[in-house]
Structure 1
């Protein structure tokens, strides 16, 4: 688990710089960031130079300005270098360095005094350069986010978790309460949410037990997870009968699960409403059957809307006789028969109809976003389908259960 909030999850050591510099010399700052926790999300190194005792920064820079973006760093030591050619008037100065995150600016972890002598530079240079030494660069290259969105772990641990927590739930305080994820899959997104927000408890439900492999998957992707955190509970259980009392959860999450519930998802929606507290938040990203990727068969043929373009018999033959181009799933793979079964079980969700279903419960819409296809190429087979059905690939929706009316 992450360190308690009152314990720093990282420690920054800054090597001493020289006491005196001449105009044109290079100030070289070496920073060693030691991550003490299992990981730190979005760390940023910040540096400034100001006159001694002043508040105004003459030089200010951070690793983002230097082109160094760190979605997360695991336990261990990482080194960063900053170089700046002296180009401000002679005098006494302070060099301040701190580490923080994208959203948190800390007081300086290190403050060093130095002086500049000689003549004043004709041109003041306000920007320096950042770099990482080879040892740190080699370790960063082992982390999943260096591979980008082609990496299954990164797509879930970074992208999906940030879409849920930041984009759709706006870092709500409710994320520190009790969270339920229905259809949790391998649990990578849930692990990220647990580490980011430290909820009282996150309960992950799924009918498969992929989550038991989560520590291995995490370690293979550079995250030193030995065991599942204490506040992360997994239940191999159908989400049609959630084994919790009414009004048990502050947040419920469902990403890409409702379309896979064989026989329909309406009982699941009833259960979600039952266990969600008044004022609780429900994030949903349902798979849309009529979208370009709605068949979930893109590993056999990436043609958009292929399942709507060809006869089902031809689609089945392709699935059963073709070797799929398996995407990286962190080791979780399935058979051709499984692929076809998953396809046949899909619920044909349409966005317009799904919104009406949510509204019928009395939910209050809080946030919504959609990801769309760049273009839809219509042919004769697609003429019966609406632009909305074919163009929207994925909706992200946050709704809120109304508070109880104490006057009723």
Structure 2
């Protein structure tokens, strides 16, 4: 999920920077359910070295990965793996998948793991530093000043699943990223040619809302703010409409931990937004991802300050037309699939929409991966 879940950001919104955010404590997610029970908080030990049961329950395990400390102190990432009891068989039985979430998010989509398992693939997900399972009480949620910092998280996760730089595996690696995770993985795949067999992007945040002119106008101000006031809190403009399309409380299908995935998102900071804008600029200049790329996007956007029921069947975070254009600059082999009635996270769309989207991905995988 991106910072801008409701409408394009405007210059006046960002000129008046607020106060620094108060660090929040982490908690554990609640599995998708027909009702909305209170979240159960479970904090894995940062010292955990091996695999242990995950809060998603049976069939899921997690491993905490120690990373180099940063200015806020100790840092970890967390890799989650799907561990079904029955052997995996299918056309992708030599594939390992690593999924990376978006902004103000974490991994809880058990049905996504089951989709990949149905193809025979081994599924893993990464909660990046300062998100979800990896968020600690002394940290600014989601904060980094450079998307390249996530190289440490990704390399630690790849090492844990057998695809480290010095490891030799006869299995193929597929990376899957949502929103800011899609941007992060696109930049990583461009910098690390030959490491992945394919890249699957679920509504990747490849361009700033309001197009490149808006990005070019605001980037210098964000760079200046990032230099002198990097962790000040930017004004929140998320009105909670995206959460309203998803949560069972408001007629949606899903429940999740609202500490790890707040209804109005985490507070954004100048340094973080400057890093995002730098990533957008790199995509606009053009990347050279040699692996085939699949891009899922909703058919339409619904960006605006007022609630409308069409938001339940639209992307309320991204300008999908702009992203579709930017996707073509990722590399020489890019497939863009527009999904009618999908929401920002395609995998959280209505069941029939998900089924159609998965069918398109499966067809693409048969041509490029399986």
> Which TM-score applies when normalising by structure 2?
0.35
The structure whose residues are more often strand, as a share, is: 1
Q: Which has the larger radius of gyration?
A: 1
Which of the pair has the greater relative contact order for Cα pairs under 8 Å at 6+ separation?
2
> Which TM-score applies when normalising by structure 1?
0.33
The structure whose residues are more often helix, as a share, is: 2
